Amino acid sequence: MSKNNVPGWIALDGSDVNLKINLQNNHYGFLKNQNALPLAQSEFELACKNYPIVFIAANAEGTLLQSVALLGFNQGQNLFVHDDQSWEPHHYIPAYAKRHPFQLGVDAQQQEPLVFVEQSYPGLNHKEGLAFFEGIEPSAYLSQLLHALRTLQVELEQTQHWIMRLKEKGLLVERSIDLTVGKKTERVGGVWVVDTDKLSSLTDEELAQMYHNGTLGLIEQHRLSLLNLDTLAKRATA
- Rounded to whole angstroms, the Cα distance separating 106 from 126 reads 24
User: Which amino acid, one-letter code, is at 173?
Assistant: V
Per residue in 152-204, pLDDT (tens digit) is: 999 999 999 999 999 999 999 999 887 776 677 777 788 999 999 999 999 99
- Domain coordinates of the chain in residue numbers? 9-236
Q: Per-residue confidence at 47, pLDDT binned at 50, 70, 90?
A: very high
For residue 1, the model assigns a pLDDT of: 55
Residue 89, Cα to own-chain centre: how many angstroms?
18
Can you say whether the dihedral through the CA atoms of 32, 38, 42, 47 is positive or negative?
A: positive
**Strand order through the sheet with 113-118:** 9-11, 113-118, 102-106
Q: How confident is the model at residue 111 (pLDDT cuts 50, 70, 90)?
A: confident
Burial group, residue 32, by CB count within 10 angstroms (0-12, 13-18, 19+): middle
Closest CA to 82 of 211, 235, 222: 235
Q: How many CB atoms lie within 10 A of CB 169?
A: 15
Residue 99 CB-density burial (10 A; 0-12 exposed, 13-18 middle, 19+ buried): middle
DSSP assignment letter at 22 = -
Cα separation, 223 vs 213, in Å, equals 18
Dihedral sign computed on CA atoms, order 217, 223, 227, 231: positive
The structure's pTM equals 0.90
Give percent above pLDDT 70 in the chain. 96
